[in-house]
């Protein structure tokens, strides 16, 4: 008696697509829930600080051109939202371009440093030493070299972002398991294959750590460039408003810059959570 043939269970295409979308949704919902749980205490502390600030300004009669109340700053955020959003778009463009340049150059240089002892001995100490130069000392030179337009602000943002990307990438590439590297070399793998199979995946958490630091500090670089010389951007808005004792607009610009930095940081954290599934499985 012949056994009945076993039919392979087929999953409908719609179900597969639904499952894929469900996995992506779960990948994004997990960090969102964790973020919501972590954001509660800081939000309460911020609200308490704003309430104390509001009370102190009203109780002691502090002039608005010295220290405006949070309610006045909020009113400026609403009334001048068009101006602030337009200037924020300019600053964001500077940040994105500076970050892109620094990322490409920084990762490329990190690969060269790890691949060549000569490059490491000649270049890496200079990269470390470059952080001893005050940023404000470089900004006027960039204005002279690149002018008051976009390039000088992009260069300043790139200089701020460059260091953490290079250092973290170098540390990540060096942190590869030496036993795994030696095993691949014994099996005849080329240095490029070792880089692609072992070093690069192991370096990704370090790279993302550097990127998180870089995107938060890139806001500082763009604003410093706008302070030294610019015709638009949130930094220019702050300098112009401060000269007119429009201090509430200065604080409104600071709110925008803070939200931009936090948003960029969270965006990078979300990309890392999705791009590194082994960290999710490990509960990282």
Distance CA 200, CA 193 (A): 10
pTM > 0.85: no
Give tens-digit pLDDT for 140-187.
888 888 888 888 888 888 888 888 899 899 988 888 777 787 777 777
* Average pLDDT value for residue range 185-206: 79
Distance CA 251, CA 256 (A): 9
Which residue in this structure is represented by tokens 């540390």?
Answer: 171
- Label residue 249 exposed, middle or buried (CB < 10 Å: 0-12, 13-18, 19+): buried
The candidate with the shortest Cα–Cα distance to 94, out of 247, 219, 243, 236, is 219
The candidate with the shortest Cα–Cα distance to 99, out of 271, 264, 275, 274, is 264
Give tens-digit pLDDT for 28-56.
555 556 666 676 777 888 888 889 988 99
Domain residue spans of the chain? 70-279
What share of the chain has pLDDT > 90, as a percent?
A: 20
Q: According to the CATH classification, is domain 70-279 in 2.40.30.10?
A: no
* Average pLDDT value for residue range 242-246: 88
Q: Which residues contact 200 (CB under 8 A, 6 or more apart)?
A: 173
């Amino acid at each position: 008696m012949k056994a009945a043939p076993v039919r392979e269970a087929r999953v409908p295409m719609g179900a597969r697509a639904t499952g894929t979308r469900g996995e992506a949704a779960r990948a994004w919902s997990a960090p969102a829930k964790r973020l919501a749980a972590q954001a509660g205490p800081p939000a309460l502390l911020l609200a308490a600080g704003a309430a104390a600030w509001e009370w102190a300004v009203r109780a002691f009669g502090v002039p608005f051109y010295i220290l405006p109340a949070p309610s006045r700053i909020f009113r400026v955020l609403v009334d001048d939202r068009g101006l602030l959003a337009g200037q924020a778009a300019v600053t964001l463009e500077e940040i994105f371009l500076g970050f892109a340049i620094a990322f490409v150059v920084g990762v490329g240089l990190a690969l060269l440093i790890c691949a060549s002892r000569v490059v490491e001995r000649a270049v890496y100490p200079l990269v470390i030493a470059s952080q001893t130069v005050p940023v404000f000392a470089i900004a006027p030179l960039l204005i002279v070299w690149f002018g008051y337009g976009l390039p000088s602000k992009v260069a300043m943002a790139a200089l701020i972002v460059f260091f953490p990307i290079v250092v973290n990438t170098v540390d990540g590439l060096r942190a590869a398991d030496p036993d795994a590297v030696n095993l691949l070399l014994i099996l005849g793998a080329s240095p490029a294959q070792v880089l692609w199979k072992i070093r690069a995946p192991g370096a990704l958490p370090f790279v993302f750590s550097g990127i998180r630091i870089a995107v938060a500090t890139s806001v500082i670089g763009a604003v410093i460039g706008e302070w030294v010389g610019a015709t638009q951007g949130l930094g220019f808005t702050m300098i112009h408003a401060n000269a007119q004792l429009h201090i509430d607009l200065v604080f409104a610009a600071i709110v925008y810059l803070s939200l931009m930095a936090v948003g960029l940081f969270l965006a990078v954290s979300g990309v890392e959570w999705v791009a590194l599934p082994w960290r999710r499985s490990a509960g990282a």
